[in-house]
Amino acid sequence: MERQLLHSLEIKTIKVIPMLLALIAVANTTLSYFDIDVPLLSYLGGVSLFPLLFLYLSSYSFSFCEYHRMFLHYVTLTWILNIIDYYWGIPVSDKNLFLLYMIITGIFLFIILYLYLKARKKK
């Protein structure tokens, strides 16, 4: 009984973590644009390669639908853009970089909504 409860809790946690990471990424990007530094967001939502790899492998191991993986794709893309901007710099103004992030966020939200409705329709 306890093992089944832990298994269920782990699956629910692995499903929710990418959504929380995406929410923290959006909040951190928005606040950074307005020069508001919240280190707690970086500590909570900072992603390194191994946890991201674990989340991807878990999503495939537990057969999550693409709707859940889209949040991981979003986090991965913004993470890669942040690394490129940090080490090499993306030659655009802060405003244009913020707009780029918001466009990417909007595209991913549209795709996530589409996949969510598609999954709900199948049920």
| Helix or strand run (H / E) with residue 110 | helix 94-122
DSSP element (H, E) containing 120: helix 94-122
For 87, the enclosing helix (H) or strand (E) is: helix 66-87
Q: What is the pLDDT of residues 46-56, one digit of tens each?
A: 888 899 999 99
pLDDT for 119 equals 86
Give the mean pLDDT of 73-100: 93
Asked if pLDDT for residue 37 goes beyond 80, the answer is yes
Provide the mean pLDDT of the chain. 92
Q: Look at residue 1 and tell me whether its pLDDT is greater than 80.
A: no
What's the pLDDT tens digit per position in 8-20? 999 999 999 999 9
Q: What value does the mean pLDDT take over residues 10-36?
A: 93
Q: Among positive and negative, which fits the CA dihedral 62, 65, 66, 70? A: negative
CB distance 72 to 56 below 8 Å: yes
The DSSP 8-state label assigned to residue 88 in this structure reads T
The whole-number pLDDT of residue 98 equals 96
How many CB atoms neighbour CB 70 within 10 A? 21
Supply the DSSP string of 5-74, one letter for each residue: HHHHHHHHHHHHHHHHHHHHHHHHHHHHHTT---HHHHHHH---HHHHHHHHHHHHHTT--HHHHHHHHH
